[in-house]
Amino acid sequence: MKINEFIDYLKEININVTEKELSLLEKYYEFLVEYNSHTNLTSITQKDLVYLKHFYDSISVAQSYDFTKELKVLDIGTGAGFPGVILKIFFPQIKLVLLDSNNKKTTFLINLIKKLDLKNVTVVNDRAENYIKQNRESFDVVISRAVANMAILLELGIPFLKVGGNLIAMKASREVTTKELDNSKNTLQIIKAKIITEKSFLLPIENSQRTIIVFEKEDITDTKYPRSYDKILKNPLK
């Protein structure tokens, strides 16, 4: 995806890119590639693929959710900052927490945030089931891109949300996502959440599948959730 294609495809989903945003994205790309030369962050480093598979893919979630409000957003398993940092570039008013258990990636993110001079961004090197202890029901939005099976993500993510808040799951294959949702019905009932929107589309140029599901938290989560990751994995909620 060339820069002009990136701009044009974003216009198709009603996102107009400013010169400032383009400049920040370019700095992001350059720093990502430079850092990736000595620390493994991503296997995707070719510029047109970074703009397609990381930058466009991340911002495509704005088709399904209104990020123009002042929101406190948690990106679980953010990796090299996707989608959280991209959302912050396009929607600077959000307060963002980037959560990842990989120290090498969070070190990169700390340096990236300084380089891009982004405000109200916190980088946390921790696991979700630990970070929740002091941050229960404190976020408006929890977002995660291709991180975990849906049942696992729901149990880890929903407890972070205020009642009425939204968890956004960014997934690939519609078929796999549908199967994961079918297997998550009990989880949704137990943690008191529901699906409010579901959108599938094709990523431009390569036409690979993407699915975005938005959940809403309906009531306070029992404090026994989330369980430890091992327990979630071995014994899904029933």
pLDDT in tens, 49-103: 999 999 999 999 999 999 999 999 999 999 999 999 999 999 999 999 999 999 9
Query: Does the domain spanning 3-234 belong to CATH 3.40.50.150?
Result: yes
- The domains of the chain are located at 3-234
From residue 98, how far is each of 13, 76, 79, 164, 173 by CA, in Å?
25, 7, 9, 21, 25
What's the rounded mean pLDDT across residues 186-211? 93
Instruction: Look at the block and give the residue holding tokens 């995707």.
Output: 44
What's the rounded mean pLDDT across residues 100-108? 97
Higher pLDDT, 147 or 10: 10
- pLDDT of amino acid 238: 60
The tokens for 55 are 């930058």
Q: What is the pLDDT of residues 14-43, one digit of tens each?
A: 999 999 999 999 999 999 999 999 999 999
From residue 113, how far is each of 8, 67, 86, 119, 227 by CA, in Å?
27, 20, 11, 8, 31
